[in-house]
Amino acid sequence: MRELRASSSIRTVVAAGLAAALLAGSPAAAPAQSAAAGAADAQYVALAKAYYDADFKLNPLQATAVGVHTYDAQIGDFSAAGVAAQDALDNDTWTKLQAIDRAQLSPSVALDATLLGNTIQDDLLNNDTLAAWKHNPDVYVQSASAAVFTIMSRAYASPAVRLGYAVAREQKIPAMLVQSKQNITTVDAITKRIAAEDAQGAVEFFKDSVPQAFFAVKDVKLQNQFAKTNAAAMKAMAAYAAWIKTIEPKGTFAIGADAYRKKLQYEDGLENMPLDQYLAYGQNELNRLRTQFAATAKLIDPNATPLAVYLSITHVHPAPNALLAKAASDLVKLRAFIRAKRLVTLPANASIKVVETPAFERATTSASEDSPGPLETVATQAYYNVTPVDPTWTTAQKEDFLAQFNDYEFPIISAHEVYPGHFTNFAIDRGLDLSLTRNLSVTSEFAEGWAHYSEQMMVDQGWGNGNPRVRLGQLEEALLRACRYVVGLKLHTAGMTLAQAEKTFTSECYQPAQVGVEESLRGTQDPMYGYYTLGKLMILKLRSDYRKKMGAAFTLQKFHDELLSRGDPPLPLLRPFILGSDDDGKPL
């Protein structure tokens, strides 16, 4: 079973052979090496294609998400046999991958082989060692919702065609939830709580959001069929939510130190990273940010607490009916700033539209960048979704919602999502001649690390003209991410309790109490959610090393263009390509 992810994770290690391939070889040896590499490369490319073709068939939800629509009427096999089929594919491909002579691969294909190998190892870790399919009912809740959400979220076919696919998938959801009850063995108390809440949320999703997405379809027969399947899916999910509440909790959500180290290796490219050293990097960054946050807040109001100062700046925000206009205006300014400062080469023909967040997504997102899957060929428009104020809210509710869109922080959010963050990264990737492996290997460490790094980089380069309120907004975003880094590790390897995690968010990271609750719960289910700060720190280290390498020839634009020119692999594996013999092998 492959967990559905917003972006396909990469699991990588820095292969010694890759570095050697980059640095070794005399001109006389190059032609023979090239001929051998051609045959080995072709062998790998064929293996990768066979793997992904089979993987899409086993994981239709993931296939739809990346833009492959061959299996849009399917949801996959959620039984133990389905998990065994995934394991068989992974093990067979791993064996064949090991038979390829890595030394004969060209450097770029050697990177791809490492990516695929670590994807496979991470799958086996998730399915066999951690076995979330046996211990987390939320796996099935999220899969049921994603089965329909991936169909309705992008207009790659007519609404009627997509509704037909949604109906076909909804028909299979009740049986999938019944199968889940046979799969589940033990569930810890916190995971039980989250899964029950999410299942109830999924009931509301099928009740309200799904019909909204397909209301314009005029085919009466199809709509009648949809009404039946949607009602059945909703009823099955309600029953599943009730069943989850009856489970006697047992065990822990924590994945443990060994699994954490392996995930750092497979997902983040950190091979043999001691966990105390990993924690120290995050804790040092958190301490640095706390100090800077307090000092910046003092510049604004020396008599108030840092959190009170931050909350005071959130009262300055656009009017409820001006959110989209403000977002569009900020994007124009951000793009102009990037060009004026020559920070990164922006694709000339890249297009993004600022739109209201679709109604069916508003409960879970306030602002988001929505790019098509890497293999999508029809619905290729990208969107910057901004959630409007609900006119039925009270004045206090509206004010609380608009606080996040304050005039100082809203542009920082837009920098993260669009310029020069996620959308810029996506648009550049779209224009590159990436391999199938590289297209399907988008690691959160790189993608979220780049977007989070962009927030700090833009302010460092003068965005906000030195206004301490702008810096404070940027630091608030950074503190939240640094807290995730530290809390994620401690929850899963050091026995940190939920209460201790909440206190860390509020007392050490200046987050409001409700944010502390929500973020701590997220950390129990997403152990590696420190990837924002991890990626940012790796980029800053790589930038420093690149500056040393380039000397007087260094520019930010050169560095950023180089960084974004090979897809989104983990940064430890990217370093040899950018630094060559100047790579010290230290990503942090």
Overall average pLDDT of the 101-127 stretch: 96
pLDDT at 317 over 90: yes
Cβ contacts of 471 within 8 Å, gap of 6 or more: 296, 459, 464
Tokens 């009466």 — which residue? 220
Going by pLDDT thresholds of 50, 70 and 90, the confidence category of residue 35 is low
Nearest in space to 343 (alpha carbons), one of 558, 577, 31, 135: 558
Looking at residue 5, what is its pLDDT? 37
Going by pLDDT thresholds of 50, 70 and 90, the confidence category of residue 348 is confident
Looking at residue 175, what is its pLDDT? 98
254: left (phi over 0), alpha (psi -120 to 50) or beta: beta
Going by pLDDT thresholds of 50, 70 and 90, the confidence category of residue 10 is very low
Looking at residue 11, what is its pLDDT? 25
Looking at residue 30, what is its pLDDT? 39
Angle, helices 513-525/468-493, rounded to nearest 10 degrees: 40
Looking at residue 361, what is its pLDDT? 74
pLDDT at 78 over 80: yes
- Predicted TM-score (pTM) of the model is 0.92
**445 neighbors 538 (Cβ within 8 angstroms):** yes
3-state secondary structure of 290: helix
Looking at residue 330, what is its pLDDT? 97
Going by pLDDT thresholds of 50, 70 and 90, the confidence category of residue 37 is low
Tokens of 535: 């990626």
Looking at residue 19, what is its pLDDT? 34
Tokens 């991470």 — which residue? 122
Q: Would strands 382-386 and 352-356 be described as parallel, antiparallel, or unpaired?
A: parallel
* Sign of the dihedral through C-alpha 573, 578, 581, 587: negative
Looking at residue 365, what is its pLDDT? 82
Higher-pLDDT residue of 157, 38: 157
Looking at residue 582, what is its pLDDT? 94
**106 neighbors 21 (Cβ within 8 angstroms):** yes
Q: What is the pLDDT of residues 485-495, one digit of tens each?
A: 999 999 999 99
Going by pLDDT thresholds of 50, 70 and 90, the confidence category of residue 137 is very high
pLDDT at 199 over 80: yes
Write out 210-243 in H/E/C secondary structure: HHHHCCCCCCHHHHHHHHHHHHHHHHHHHHHHHH
Q: Could you tell me how many residues make up the chain?
A: 588
Element (H, E) at 509: none
Instruction: State how far the Cα of 47 lies from the Cα of 315, in Å rounded to an integer.
Output: 56
Half-sphere exposure of 356 (CA within 13 A, CB side): 11
DSSP per residue, 511-559:
--HHHHHHHHHHHHH-TTTTHHHHHHHHHHHHHHHHHHHHGGG--HHHH
In angstroms, how far is the first alpha carbon of the chain from the final one?
A: 33
CA distances from 177 to 106, 345, 494, 520 (A): 46, 48, 34, 27
Overall average pLDDT of the 143-165 stretch: 96
Q: What is the pLDDT of residues 356-379, one digit of tens each?
A: 988 767 777 899 999 999 999 999
Nearest in space to 206 (alpha carbons), one of 151, 245, 261: 151
Tokens of 503: 């206190």
pLDDT at 159 over 80: yes
In angstroms, how far is CA 201 from the centroid of its own chain? 21
Instruction: State how far the Cα of 365 lies from the Cα of 381, in Å rounded to an integer.
Output: 19
Cis peptide before 420 (omega within 30 of 0): yes
pLDDT at 16 over 50: no
Nearest in space to 80 (alpha carbons), one of 174, 156, 170, 185: 185
Instruction: State how far the Cα of 231 lies from the Cα of 237, in Å rounded to an integer.
Output: 10
Overall average pLDDT of the 443-451 stretch: 97
Element (H, E) at 368: strand 367-370
Nearest in space to 424 (alpha carbons), one of 365, 546, 544, 338: 338
Please provide residue 374's backbone torsions phi and psi, each rounded to the nearest 5 degrees: -65, -20
Q: What is the mean pLDDT of the chain?
A: 92
Overall average pLDDT of the 405-422 stretch: 97
Q: What is the pLDDT of residues 276-302, one digit of tens each?
A: 999 999 999 999 999 999 999 999 999
Strand ranges of the sheet holding 367-370, from the earlier edge strand across to the other edge: 352-356, 382-386, 367-370
Tokens of 235: 């009823």
In angstroms, how far is CA 289 from the centroid of its own chain? 23
Instruction: State how far the Cα of 217 lies from the Cα of 201, in Å rounded to an integer.
Output: 25
Overall average pLDDT of the 415-440 stretch: 96
Tokens of 263: 């995930």
Overall average pLDDT of the 238-250 stretch: 98
DSSP per residue, 75-91:
----SHHHHHHHHHHHH
pLDDT at 36 over 90: no
Overall average pLDDT of the 96-100 stretch: 97
Looking at residue 351, what is its pLDDT? 86
